[in-house]
Amino acid sequence: MSTSEATEQKLKRALTTPMLTLYGLGVTVGAGIYVLVGATAQIAGPYAAFSFVVAALVVSLTALSYAELATRYPVSAGEAAYVAAGFQRDWMAVVVGLAVAASGVISASAIAIGAASYLHALTGFGTPLLTMGVVLIMGLIALWGITESVFIAAVITVIEIAGLLFVIGWGVSVHDPQGYAVTSMIPPLESGAWKSIFAASLLAFFAFVGFEDMANVAEEVKEPTRTIPKAILLTLALATVLYLGTSITVLNVVPIDVLANSAAPLALVFSEAPETIKKGFSAVAIVATVNGVLIQMIMASRVIYGLADRGHLPKVLAIVPKATRTPIVATLLVVATILLLTQTLPIGLLAERTSQIVLGVFVLVNLSLILLKRAPAKAEQHFDVPLIVPVLGVLTSSLLFAAGFL
């Protein structure tokens, strides 16, 4: 097949509401909640669970903006298209698109290192080698096809969610919890408590990073005007309930001094459990992190494909072979970049940079919707939110970004 024939192939509309919701949950519910409860507890103490509520409120406002924009412009490289339409500046669209792709690549790199660390504990093999193996295997799945990739991710997502439900169920059955009483987790109206909550919310925000990736597969969604808003809101609602239940359980069962210093906080709930249950949960945690790598790869490659398809990047990156109907060159570039980052940068720095990039993109996306809403209305059918939603989205995303410097 010639290059010109390959680039003429378009992505396949195959994703329904259940599949898109599982896709969103797969990238949202994963490495974040599995590793960040301890870090948020170190900052916010008994109020760590409330940090996830604050992060959810910030994310929900921007999620509603995404729901409208994704139905206005149901294309790959969604954020780039939104900014181009709102600001009428092509260079801004390219910058935002590259920032979104970078956030996916950097996030996948952090998650891959985490997955390899869990695997190292079970197998004893070197972490760098395991990291490369995780990235390459997930890259092959991403190249396979969107339906196949999302189906595999959906199956893994069900396992991830079952793992969190198991944490909650096991925690409830613990007879002598060593952590905080549930009543002591409600924050008082004191500035010191809320300062720590907001500071921890930036970390908790990382656990919600992913819902926006759903906008970047919009070109592969059936009936996007109806499907995308439902899937985005379902993803956030389910993720928030799971996060709140999980964080409350861990804070209740595990002593704070042990929890705050753990890189695998959910496993601490099973400290008194039989060895088979401990190993079984470790396997689920590995699956959870690996899934995040796959879905971030899918998202980043679609953004790069979308930019190339619109002439903002070299056309070779928009090649879509007929056999797979996936952006093969863009995916290979993403995989190669992730391999480089995992071998050169630490996981903490990667996670921090991901949150900062995503929050910056959120501000620009909300500003774009404000500008579009102020322009003359077009007779197009799309999901619609009040103007106050993107205004609050700009404000809350900016405040959460600033909270990282408290």
pLDDT in tens, 113-167: 877 876 776 777 887 888 888 888 888 877 776 666 667 777 877 888 888 899 8
pLDDT in tens, 278-326: 888 878 878 777 777 887 888 788 888 888 887 878 888 877 777 667 7
Interatomic CA distance for residues 264 and 266, integer angstroms = 6
Interatomic CA distance for residues 197 and 266, integer angstroms = 20
Interatomic CA distance for residues 363 and 82, integer angstroms = 12
pLDDT in tens, 236-246: 889 899 999 99
Whether the pLDDT of residue 8 is over 60: the answer is no
Q: Please tell me the least confidently modeled range out of 80-89, 123-132, 349-358, 360-369.
A: 349-358
Beta bridge partners of 15: 221
CATH, domain 3-374+381-401, list 3.30.930.10, 1.20.1740.10, 3.40.50.720, 1.20.58.100 = 1.20.1740.10
Interatomic CA distance for residues 242 and 157, integer angstroms = 13
Beta bridge partners of 221: 15
* DSSP for residue 272: T
Per-residue confidence (pLDDT) for residue 82, from 0 to 100? 87
| pLDDT class of 404 with cuts at 50, 70, 90 | low
Q: How large is the average pLDDT for residues 65-70? A: 88
Q: How large is the average pLDDT for residues 191-202? A: 83
Q: Which residues contact 288 (CB under 8 A, 6 or more apart)?
A: 29, 30, 31, 34, 156, 159, 160, 163
Whether the pLDDT of residue 350 is over 80: the answer is no
What one-character-per-residue DSSP string does 149-214 give? HHHHHHHHHHHHHHHHHHHHHHHHH-SS--S--GGGGSPPS-HHHHHHHHHHHHHHHHTTTTGGGG
Q: How large is the average pLDDT for residues 353-367? A: 85
| pLDDT class of 380 with cuts at 50, 70, 90 | low
| pLDDT class of 369 with cuts at 50, 70, 90 | very high
Whether the pLDDT of residue 391 is over 60: the answer is yes
Whether the pLDDT of residue 34 is over 50: the answer is yes
Q: Please tell me the least confidently modeled range out of 70-74, 246-250, 349-353.
A: 349-353
Share of the chain above pLDDT 70, in %: 88
Per-residue confidence (pLDDT) for residue 395, from 0 to 100? 93
Interatomic CA distance for residues 177 and 402, integer angstroms = 35
Whether the pLDDT of residue 86 is over 80: the answer is yes
